Structure 1
């Protein structure tokens, strides 16, 4: 499924090959990459291009990805879904120049709304490294609850890191959406 979503301040759209330089620029920042499980550091343009080649059009909601496209500025970060052991997982990141503006809360809200409206899923999984309180605050605002803690490999850090596991149920999403 290829979707484009409009929010109050930006567009969530499919990623393009032309996003590669911005992806590499923002992910080659340890402050960003060190918060993500599946992103190496350093992160190079070739990594961005290789990742973009893995994306496909017309995928189910649980595999959709959205570039955060700010008017007049372009690519700023990403929100995406992927299959996990228990079900669909949402992940997200934002380039450091855009932090502290509420953009990621707006992006994750739009993406989770779209996901629940587009799928029959009754839950959505996520989580954060224990030190990433800003990301945990976003999830709490949206109704995610903690289900446990685990250790998860962080490629950028080269080691397993304490991870807070979270879930958003359809019921909690519907309650927030009222």
Structure 2
């Protein structure tokens, strides 16, 4: 699966991406805001993630910026099954912060999620991560009022996270009813 947005190209990871991935995510300022990423983040973790299989209902993507000399990796975004709920996760490398890439990637991923049949997506951010709170708000997520303690491998202790959710609409399709939309036309001709 691939997703093209205005400035970004979201694609599956390939095994040869591991070094570029490692160079970008081996940053405590990023990993401290992620609950599923080990710290320190070593080359073996990067190799494993870059080579991991793509899920059909819960895909994950490398976020890239296409250019004349190829596409540069800037982060990652994906859907995960979290105890029966579909959750979204994302990160952007520090040198690409404050450019709107996370917001754009999340919007693209939400459009795909609707197409895949997901109707509700959950997300959370650590309470001290204002940037993620802004991304979630800009993409239509709403706080649920629930806070949970969560661990990050880069944090020394569990920290509060703020839960969010978004209800997705069914994608508008061009397919009509089972009769192909011809029944109203038959009625008009018969009248």
TM-score (norm 1): 0.87
More helix by share: 1
Of the three residues 4, 17, 30, the one matched with 1:32 is: 30
Q: Contact between 1:22 and 1:76, CA under 8 Å: does it hold in 2?
A: no
Of the three residues 4, 8, 29, the one matched with 1:10 is: 8
Of the three residues 130, 140, 144, the one matched with 2:141 is: 144
SS where residue 158 of structure 2 aligns? strand
1:64 maps onto 2:64 in alignment: no
1:46 maps onto 2:41 in alignment: no
CA distance in 2, matches of 1:11, 1:51: 18
2:188 is matched with: none
Q: Contact between 1:12 and 1:68, CA under 8 Å: does it hold in 2?
A: yes
Cα distance per residue 1:102-147 (max 9 Å; x no partner): 111111000011111222x220011100011111111111111111
CA distance in 2, matches of 1:50, 1:15: 10
Cα distance per residue 1:26-77 (max 9 Å; x no partner): 2111111111111122211111112234x214x322x201111112351110
Q: Contact between 2:16 and 2:50, CA under 8 Å: does it hold in 1?
A: no
1:131 maps onto 2:121 in alignment: no
Coordinate RMSD, CA, aligned: 1.6
1:71-90 to structure 2, matched below 5 A, reads 71-72=66-67, 73-90=71-88
SS where residue 154 of structure 1 aligns? coil
CA distance in 1, matches of 2:139, 2:100: 13
SS where residue 40 of structure 2 aligns? coil
SS where residue 159 of structure 1 aligns? coil
CA distance in 2, matches of 1:14, 1:86: 23
Q: Number of matched residues?
A: 167
- How far 1:86 moved relative to its partner? 4.5
CA distance in 2, matches of 1:116, 1:78: 19
Identify unmatched segments of 5+ residues in structure 1: none
